[in-house]
A and B are shown apart, each in its own frame.
Chain A
Amino acid sequence: MGFAIDKIRADFPILLRQVHNKPLIYFDNAATSQKPQQVIDALVHYYTYQNANIHRGVHALSQEATDAYERARDLVKTFFNARLREEIIFTAGTTHSINLVAHGFRSWLQPKDEIIVGQAEHHSNIVPWQMACALTGAVLKVLPIDENGQLQLETLKSLLGPQTKLVVVNHVSNALGTINPIETIIEMAHGHGVQVLVDGAQASSHISVDVQALDVDYYITSAHKMCGPTGVGMLYGKKELLEALPPYQGGGEMIKEVYFEGTTYAGLPHKFEAGTPNIAGGIGFGAAIEYLNTIGLEEIAAYEHELLMHATQGLKQIEGLKIYGDITHKTAVVSFNIGQLHPYDVGTLLDRMGIAVRTGQHCTQPVMDFYGIPGTVRASFAFYNTKEEIDIMIKGVQRAVNMLQ
């Protein structure tokens, strides 16, 4: 059976939109994915029929909302195959999750301790660690990429040592789409007794992840990259690590008992979920996972890979076009430039044709510096895109090039 693309597209109402009087072609999925009606409906349903604060009321509505929210946690747990539901912490998203862990590490880091960070990380997975280092005297060590955007594992070997406290790396690079060999990285780090945090923001709706099989210590993602709402995400952490990690924000929900003489904290996951959470967001996150499950990540990955190959082949026909991270083991992201043309010029003209791509540094300035470029044009595809749309983009790029040269 083929991929039911027409049926899938019908689930995404925004795909019917026009932009500048042209049908919208949305190729900025790495920035955020579009939302299927099922997710939109879940949000509307919650606010229409179930809205109540959770974990506190004895009344029926509060109980229903709590059940819906906690059910979402179970869905996330199963999706990532975590061992325990309390290992899933709901956060505001990837950035929040990373800051949560980095904040806890401030209590653990000593001067001259080292954190190894990938060269192609999103700024969200660099800056919180710089802040932790600035406060503790710990040091960031950069794990470099090669010309294809792939992490140099040989160097990792020499960087790991008794002074290393943590390795932080993305599963998939948002700038290039490169899939990193996190299995190997985790194995190497664990060989030195070093924990590993993986930023999975770009992987979650494309690659099936089993946190137990990976033996990863922390795995992090945002719901909005996987057809869910904005403002919600998750931190997976091994139970014993999360129990040891100091809490991030203080407030309601995260406490057991509060006395002015001292407070005791609630158990997991509530210890890290201070305040009224994004209840609708959590429920929407659950709906997004149910939606992805109905299609299947394997099917999604296979279809998206076809799109990637189609786009790569077509774009390479354009004279002077260079793809950064031109490998096949990657998600459906093509990051490119044409000769000396500024990505911004190309992106502006594509926008006029109804084609949404991202241009610029993609919050990964070190990657752009590595290649010595001001940025790239990034087309990132999702399972609701088509080869026909890609063909229109390729023609559009050619047209932009003709205008600009």
Chain B
Amino acid sequence: MIIEAQQEIIEEFALFDDWMDKYEHLIGLGKTLPLIDPQFKTDQYIIKGCQSKVWLRAEQQDGRVYFWADSDAIITKGIVSVLIRAFSGLSAQDIVNAPTDFIKEIGLNDHLSPTRANGLVSMIKQMKLYATAFAAQNNA
């Protein structure tokens, strides 16, 4: 299940060999992002380490974790959208354990500037932090 969602994304991005098309796809994905409720667009939900702003929120329902997010930059929205597709709907423990090398495989790491890549790292870290907290709750 974890690997399936990631494999799907990898294959999708492999369709494009031109960077321009990849970015166009990424921009398109940004439009499918499950948007965070505006009331949560506060400092509490903001992710540091991005030049653009990212707000991210998670909830656990019936043993699965779901994410909502938003960003003021379109490309960043696309990136969050990819991450959410990879992680949303998994169990907290699965998210904690999930590998993240698919990001390299779709070329996001390579193709994004270093500061942006740092933003990417912060986003993954934040998602895993949410999952870790839910997993701890579940085990308590």
Are B20 and A344 in contact (CB-based, < 8 A)? no
A233 shortest CB reach to chain B, Å: 25
Segment of A56-64, A137-145, A347-355 in the binding face: A347-355
Are A352 and B116 in contact (CB-based, < 8 A)? no
B74 shortest CB reach to chain A, Å: 5
Are A342 and B23 in contact (CB-based, < 8 A)? no
| B72 adjacent to chain A (CB < 8 Å) | yes
Given contacts A342-B72, A359-B51, contact A348 B19 (CB under 8 A): no
Interface residues on A, range: 10 to 19
| A403 adjacent to chain B (CB < 8 Å) | yes
Are A344 and B52 in contact (CB-based, < 8 A)? yes
Interface residue from A344, A360, A374, A404 paired with B27 (Cβ < 8 Å): A404
- Other than the given A352-B111, A374-B72, 20 more pairs (CB < 8 A) read A20-B19, A341-B74, A344-B52, A344-B73, A344-B116, A345-B73, A345-B75, A347-B113, A348-B75, A348-B113, A348-B116, A349-B23, A352-B19, A352-B20, A352-B23, A374-B52, A374-B53, A403-B20, A403-B27, A404-B74
Given contacts A344-B51, A344-B73, A348-B75, contact A403 B113 (CB under 8 A): no
B118 shortest CB reach to chain A, Å: 13
Are A403 and B23 in contact (CB-based, < 8 A)? yes
Tell me the bound Cα distance from A403 to B52 in angstroms: 18
| B76 adjacent to chain A (CB < 8 Å) | yes
Tell me the bound Cα distance from A348 to B30 in angstroms: 15
A392 shortest CB reach to chain B, Å: 15
Tell me the bound Cα distance from A335 to B137 in angstroms: 49
- In the bound complex, residues from chain B placing their C-beta under 8 Å from that of A345 are 52, 73-76
- In the bound complex, residues from chain B placing their C-beta under 8 Å from that of A404 are 27, 74
A103 shortest CB reach to chain B, Å: 30
Given contacts A348-B112, A351-B113, A404-B74, contact A342 B52 (CB under 8 A): yes
Contact flags A321-342 to B (C-beta < 8 A → 1, else 0): 0000000000000000000011
B114 shortest CB reach to chain A, Å: 11
Tell me the bound Cα distance from A342 to B52 in angstroms: 8
| B37 adjacent to chain A (CB < 8 Å) | no
Given contacts A342-B52, A374-B72, contact A403 B19 (CB under 8 A): no
- In the bound complex, residues from chain A placing their C-beta under 8 Å from that of B23 are 349, 352, 403
Query: B residues near A, CB below 8 A?
Result: 19-20, 23-24, 27, 51-53, 72-76, 111-113, 116
Nearest residue (CB) in A for B78 is A345
Tell me the bound Cα distance from A50 to B61 in angstroms: 70
Nearest residue (CB) in A for B119 is A344
Query: A residues near B, CB below 8 A?
Result: 20, 341-342, 344-345, 347-349, 351-352, 359-360, 374-375, 403-404
- In the bound complex, residues from chain A placing their C-beta under 8 Å from that of B53 are 374
Tell me the bound Cα distance from A20 to B111 in angstroms: 9
Tell me the bound Cα distance from A97 to B72 in angstroms: 37
Residue in B53, B75, B111 whose Cβ sees the most chain A Cβ within 10 Å = B75
Tell me the bound Cα distance from A342 to B19 in angstroms: 20
Nearest residue (CB) in A for B19 is A352
B48 shortest CB reach to chain A, Å: 14
A95 shortest CB reach to chain B, Å: 20
Residue in B51, B112, B113 whose Cβ sees the most chain A Cβ within 10 Å = B51
Residue in A20, A344, A347, A360 whose Cβ sees the most chain B Cβ within 10 Å = A344
A51 shortest CB reach to chain B, Å: 33
Nearest residue (CB) in A for B53 is A374
Are B19 and A344 in contact (CB-based, < 8 A)? no
Tell me the bound Cα distance from A375 to B24 in angstroms: 23
19 CB contacts below 8 A, A to B, read A20-B19, A342-B73, A344-B51, A344-B76, A344-B116, A345-B73, A345-B76, A347-B113, A348-B116, A349-B75, A351-B113, A352-B19, A352-B20, A359-B51, A360-B51, A374-B72, A403-B20, A403-B27, A404-B27
- In the bound complex, residues from chain B placing their C-beta under 8 Å from that of A352 are 19-20, 23, 111
- In the bound complex, residues from chain A placing their C-beta under 8 Å from that of B111 are 352
A219 shortest CB reach to chain B, Å: 32
Tell me the bound Cα distance from A20 to B72 in angstroms: 26
Tell me the bound Cα distance from A403 to B19 in angstroms: 12
A308 shortest CB reach to chain B, Å: 26
Tell me the bound Cα distance from A348 to B52 in angstroms: 12
A274 shortest CB reach to chain B, Å: 34
- In the bound complex, residues from chain A placing their C-beta under 8 Å from that of B75 are 344-345, 348-349
